[in-house]
Amino acid sequence: MSSDVFAPGINAGRLDPQTYADNFADLHAPLDAHEALVAADRCYFCHDAPCITACPTDIDIPLFIRQIATGTPDAAAKTILTQNILGGMCARVCPTETLCEEVCVREVAEGKPVLIGQLQRYATDHLQAQGIHPFSRVAVTGKTVAVVGAGPAGLSCAHRLAMLGHDVVVMDARPKPGGLNEYGIAAYKTPDGFAQEEVDWLLKIGGIEIKHGVRLGGDVTFDSLVSEHDAVFLGMGLGGVNALGAAGEDKEGVGDAVEFIAELRQASDVASVPIGRDVVVIGGGMTAVDAAVQAKLLGALNVTLVYRRGRERMNASVFEQDLAASKGVRIVTHAVPKAVHGNGAVREIEFEYVDGDMNSTGQTLRLAADQVFKAIGQTLESDGLPALEGGKIKVDAAGRTSLKGVWAGGDCASGGEDLTVTGVAEGRDAAMDIHKSLVG
């Protein structure tokens, strides 16, 4: 949709400049110093705190909140970053409402958790704003590690390896580092170029070289990586998008939600991004919600998110579902795409209602649409990889693959959920195992 000539009904500049600015402002305003102290004062500093167990990166949450409460936010940031080097981004995009905050004692007792995510952002932003990098490298080991993918898993792995004295070469197919954080998250969650600022700050550790425009299987072969480096970490994410399996899905106006989000994230002016009058998003995850909400914020009149199962089965959290509804997105459940109608370009999309067992009810639904976004999952794209499991690279608990000297983590690997925070944890843990392997 980046062409200057758009399909009928798909237009840029639907709204006035101030409305765009308001729509794409920070989703959560940052806490000021006083607000952070008040929020931190609500923490019970639990012994055996359930929030730590619920955090995929095992951050000592009571400790960092106590450090904020005692007026040492930079110490709090180091507590966070020791476990999660992308703690600033995770504070913005992590579904804390279904992880640490969901099990907070305050949430269980009062229905109002400690604002763990916002406090994490307060601490990490305070440190990063000063340009401080709290870690330094140990003596250089002379070992080199190739990291494929500059997303959360790859960057987390690279930083930990560099800190441990290894030289790291990160290869990524895109022109900017960051992966999902840069290209795949709603613009209103990370405004003002924060994703790149965080990467620039991370690279201050030293010992990390990033090569852009390098695609595994095209510009570099898997065998060459293995032969030229002491270890390899695969964290390239998932490049392919699943097909709808509906007749006519090749019509103009039918696109991928991930590409739409990436285009919006990279636009110098969101007003230049075209959007339809009637938009349909198919899927039930975070990507689907991000695409649907942003379509509405760009000025689409009608936006409908359609999911094949019930709301309780959606991967998007209840918070995200409610956010979509609050922005005017209609959510339709138990419906699967059957056909895309139109003469060359989409005009309608037809769905078939199904029951809880995915059996047809015999009823159908037709929605007017001049733009349809697919957000029904991604697939792994590359040949000659280690053994796969469920369409992803099979790994053990330490991230080891079926090939000696090769580890993997993040969305391309089997196991954890497809979340930024999970990718960070898997990259960090794989780095520790790589280090152990390299130095004995």
pLDDT the model gives residue 18: 97
Sheet of 360-368: strand order equals 335-341, 348-354, 360-368
Per DSSP, 67 falls in state H
Q: Long-range pairs for 397-402 at CB < 8 Å and ≥24 separation?
A: 397/429, 398/429, 398/430, 398/432, 398/433, 399/233, 399/426, 399/429, 399/430, 399/433, 400/430, 400/433, 401/234
Outline where 203-326 has alpha helix (H): 222-228, 257-266, 286-297, 318-326
Question: Using CA atoms, how far apart are residues 244 and 376, in angstroms rounded to an integer?
Answer: 8
The per-residue pLDDT for range 152-161, each reduced to its tens digit, is 999 999 999 9
Question: Using CA atoms, how far apart are residues 367 and 396, in angstroms rounded to an integer?
Answer: 45
Per DSSP, 6 falls in state -
The DSSP element (H or E) to which 107 belongs, if any, is: helix 105-110
Please state the rounded mean pLDDT for residues 397-410.
97
- Residues present in the chain in total: 440
Please state the rounded mean pLDDT for residues 170-193.
96
Residues of the chain with pLDDT > 70, as a percent, come to 98
Closest CA to 329 of 291, 369, 293, 368: 293
Question: Using CA atoms, how far apart are residues 57 and 82, in angstroms rounded to an integer?
Answer: 10
- Evaluate if residue 223 carries a pLDDT over 50: yes
Contact assessment for residue 12 and residue 271, using Cβ atoms and an 8 Å cutoff: yes
Q: How many other CB atoms are found less than 10 A from the CB of residue 332?
A: 15
Question: Using CA atoms, how far apart are residues 341 and 332, in angstroms rounded to an integer?
Answer: 19
- Under 8 Å CB-to-CB from 63, ≥6 apart: which residues? 76, 79
Please state the rounded mean pLDDT for residues 267-280.
97
The per-residue pLDDT for range 19-39, each reduced to its tens digit, is 999 999 999 999 999 999 999
Please state the rounded mean pLDDT for residues 393-409.
97
pLDDT the model gives residue 2: 42
- Under 8 Å CB-to-CB from 417, ≥6 apart: which residues? 56
pLDDT the model gives residue 288: 97
pLDDT the model gives residue 217: 86
Residue environment code for 356-383, b if the CB has 16+ CB neighbours within 10 A, otherwise e: eeeeeeeeeeebbbbbbbbbbbbebbbe
Contact assessment for residue 205 and residue 383, using Cβ atoms and an 8 Å cutoff: no
- Under 8 Å CB-to-CB from 104, ≥6 apart: which residues? 50, 51, 113, 114, 116
- Evaluate if residue 1 carries a pLDDT over 60: no
- Under 8 Å CB-to-CB from 19, ≥6 apart: which residues? none
**CA-to-CA separations, 109 to 53, 79, 106, in angstroms, rounded:** 18, 27, 5
- Evaluate if residue 148 carries a pLDDT over 70: yes
**Which range is least confidently modeled, 134-138, 385-389, 425-429?**
385-389
Kindly indicate the confidence band of residue 225, based on its pLDDT and cuts at 50, 70 and 90.
Answer: very high
Q: Locate 287 and state its tokens.
A: 């990507």
pLDDT the model gives residue 204: 97
Mean pLDDT score of the chain = 95
Please state the rounded mean pLDDT for residues 286-314.
97
Kindly indicate the confidence band of residue 416, based on its pLDDT and cuts at 50, 70 and 90.
Answer: confident
Instruction: Give the helix, strand, coil percentages of the chain, each rounded to 5.
Output: 40, 20, 45
Please state the rounded mean pLDDT for residues 264-283.
97
pLDDT the model gives residue 330: 98
Going along the chain from its start, the domains and CATH numbers come out as 10-25+241-377 (3.50.50.60), 33-129 (1.10.1060.10), 144-239+380-439 (3.50.50.60)
pLDDT the model gives residue 415: 79
Q: Locate 53 and state its tokens.
A: 């167990």
pLDDT the model gives residue 149: 97
DSSP 13-30: --S-HHHHHHHTS-SSPP
Kindly indicate the confidence band of residue 353, based on its pLDDT and cuts at 50, 70 and 90.
Answer: very high
- Evaluate if residue 345 carries a pLDDT over 70: yes
Q: What is the pTM of this model?
A: 0.95
pLDDT the model gives residue 7: 66
pLDDT the model gives residue 4: 46
Please state the rounded mean pLDDT for residues 335-342.
97
